[in-house]
């Protein structure tokens, strides 16, 4: 990054990602594979850089949400297996096959469409089956009264030609939330998952080499559910309540700079909507970061950021490209000095709580105009 352009940037620590990868890996049972979730530009950390690191560190699989994300990795020389978690229109079957990309299949009708498309090409598509065990999103429905039809549809899917059914997976709804209800729900999802697999394998004689369901929450709280592969996302990046339990390190530090500092008399209103009024003579700094950089406007007047010498309360509505902070009690903070919006010093959870959201959303919200700076 050009120093002259120092405005707002995201420092990404590749050593911390490697540390987190190795710390998670050390918890896995013998033979359990590691899939790193790198969708949404690796939760804002840079999918290509993170994937290169995971490939060199010995991870087994990557997961993305869509074909474009998978192709970006292939175009940048990533050769390890990639699973697409979302839907890909069957007309792209040839692109999937030619790029060695594994496609999720979430319903019998889609299995038939991919099978036909692959058959017409005389090729085979590698796939993982997705079961809906209680997330009510993508996947073969198999809960409650749907158990029989679910198993039947799966048995019909696994015998279709030109599909290689390498794996089968499901996704948990509340594995990262505390409480008896959440634990019971997660255990019921897991039991249904393994019951369906047992029924399909017994009835069709097929065998799924890779059964996986452990996302971040399950890797931390339900190690008995790791099966043949784990599938963490947030955990790898060291964020979330559960990351602390494993001594993982946050990998992104969002930093901005102070553009200018001015003194206002008591009773001065600040920013759009005049939603803050100074109560004292105030030394107010203007930060070069706003909601277009990924700072949620809902945080306005509710958070503080880490400046030189301490925390600076944010004042007034957060604008598109700027926001104001009270530096009266932080005389060391000066024009050009750095302010950590979130990172090791300023916990991202304070911001996500203020914005009524979760750390995931803040990481993904760090926008394109924020350069990523990689620490090796
Ligand atoms: C996003 C996603 C994950 C990773 O979730 P984390 O909570 O970040 O670990 C795993 N599996 C699927 C299907 C996902 O969509």
CATH no. for residue 213? 3.20.20.10
Do 99 and 46 sit in the same domain of this protein?
Answer: yes
Please give the residue range of the domain that contains residue 324.
Answer: 252-375
Do 27 and 100 sit in the same domain of this protein?
Answer: yes
128 CB within 6 A, ligand 1: no
CATH of the domain at 267: 2.40.37.10
Do 163 and 312 sit in the same domain of this protein?
Answer: no
Return the closest-CA partner of residue 292 out of 256, 260, 259, 334: 256
Residue 245 lies in a domain: no
What pLDDT is stored for residue 60 in this prediction?
98
Task: Check: CB of residue 73 under 8 Å from CB of residue 47.
Answer: yes
> How confident is the prediction for the chain on average, in pLDDT?
96
* Domain end residue (candidates: 240, 261, 296): 240
The pTM assigned to this predicted structure is 0.96
88 CB within 6 A, ligand 1: no
Do 268 and 232 sit in the same domain of this protein?
Answer: no
Do 142 and 261 sit in the same domain of this protein?
Answer: no
Give the chain's domain count: 2
The residues pairing with 9 across neighbouring beta strands, listed in sequence order, are 255
Q: Are strands 252-264 and 338-342 parallel, antiparallel or unpaired?
A: antiparallel
Selected catalytic residue, list 6, 239, 272, 302: 272
Do 199 and 274 sit in the same domain of this protein?
Answer: no
Do 187 and 321 sit in the same domain of this protein?
Answer: no
Residue 40 lies in a domain: yes
Confidence grade of residue 2 (pLDDT, cut at 50, 70, 90):
low
Active site residue 272: yes
Do 284 and 150 sit in the same domain of this protein?
Answer: no
Residue 371 lies in a domain: yes
Task: Check: CB of residue 175 under 8 Å from CB of residue 222.
Answer: yes
Q: Residues 255-299: pLDDT tens digits?
A: 999 999 999 999 999 999 999 999 999 999 999 999 999 999 999
Residue 4 lies in a domain: no
- Between 249 and 241, the higher pLDDT residue: 249
Do 168 and 85 sit in the same domain of this protein?
Answer: yes
- For ligand 1, the distance from its centroid to the CA atom of residue 67, given in whole angstroms, is 17
Active site residue 21: no
Do 70 and 204 sit in the same domain of this protein?
Answer: yes
Residue 8 lies in a domain: no
Lowest mean pLDDT among 68-72, 225-229, 245-249: 245-249
83 CB within 6 A, ligand 1: no
Whether 3 shows a pLDDT value over 70: the answer reads: no
Residue 7 lies in a domain: no
What pLDDT is stored for residue 165 in this prediction?
97
- For ligand 1, the distance from its centroid to the CA atom of residue 119, given in whole angstroms, is 31
Do 260 and 351 sit in the same domain of this protein?
Answer: yes
State the average pLDDT over residues 151-173. Answer: 98
What pLDDT is stored for residue 159 in this prediction?
97
107 CB within 6 A, ligand 1: no
Residue 304 lies in a domain: yes
Do 227 and 256 sit in the same domain of this protein?
Answer: no
* Domain end residue (candidates: 240, 270, 302): 240
Selected catalytic residue, list 39, 110, 126, 130: 39
Strands (E), the chain: 8-13, 33-37, 61-64, 82-84, 101-105, 125-132, 140-141, 163-170, 210-214, 229-230, 252-264, 269-270, 276-277, 282-287, 304-307, 310-315, 323-326, 338-342, 372-375
* Domain end residue (candidates: 240, 263, 280): 240
Residue 169 lies in a domain: yes
């Amino acid at each position: 990054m050009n120093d002259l352009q120092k405005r707002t940037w995201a420092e990404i620590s590749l050593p911390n990602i490697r540390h987190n990868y190795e710390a998670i890996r050390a918890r896995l049972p013998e033979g359990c594979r590691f899939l790193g979730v790198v969708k949404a530009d690796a939760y804002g950390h840079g999918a290509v850089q993170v994937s290169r690191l995971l490939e060199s560190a010995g991870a087994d699989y990557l997961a993305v949400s869509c074909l474009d994300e998978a192709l970006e990795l292939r175009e940048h020389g990533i050769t390890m297996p990639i699973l697409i978690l979302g839907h890909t229109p069957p007309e792209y079957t040839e692109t999937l096959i030619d790029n060695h990309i594994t496609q999720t299949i979430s319903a019998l009708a889609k299995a038939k469409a991919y099978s036909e498309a692959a058959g017409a090409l005389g090729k085979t598509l590698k796939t993982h089956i997705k079961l809906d065990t209680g997330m009510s999103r993508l996947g073969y429905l198999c809960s409650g009264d749907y158990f029989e039809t679910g198993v039947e549809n799966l048995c019909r899917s696994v015998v279709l030609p030109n599909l290689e059914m390498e794996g089968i997976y499901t996704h948990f709804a509340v594995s990262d939330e505390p409480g008896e209800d959440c634990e019971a729900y997660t255990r019921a999802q897991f039991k249904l998952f393994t019951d369906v697999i047992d029924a399909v394998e017994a009835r069709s004689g097929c065998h799924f080499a890779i059964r996986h369901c452990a996302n971040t929450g399950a890797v931390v709280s339900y190690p008995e559910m790791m099966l043949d592969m784990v599938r963490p996302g947030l955990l790898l990046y060291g964020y979330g309540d559960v990351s602390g339990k494993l001594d993982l390190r946050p990998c992104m530090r969002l930093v901005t700079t102070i553009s200018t500092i001015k003194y206002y008399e008591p009773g001065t209103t600040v920013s759009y909507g005049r939603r803050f009024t100074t109560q004292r003579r105030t030394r107010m700094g203007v930060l070069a970061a706003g909601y277009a950089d990924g700072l949620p406007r809902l945080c306005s007047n509710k958070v503080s950021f880490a400046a030189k010498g301490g925390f600076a309360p944010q004042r007034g509505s957060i604008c598109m490209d700027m926001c104001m902070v009270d530096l009266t009690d932080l005389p060391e903070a000066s024009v050009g000095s750095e302010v950590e919006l979130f990172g090791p010093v300023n916990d991202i959870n304070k911001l996500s709580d203020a914005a009524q959201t979760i750390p995931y959303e803040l990481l993904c919200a760090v926008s394109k105009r924020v350069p990523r700076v990689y620490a090796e």
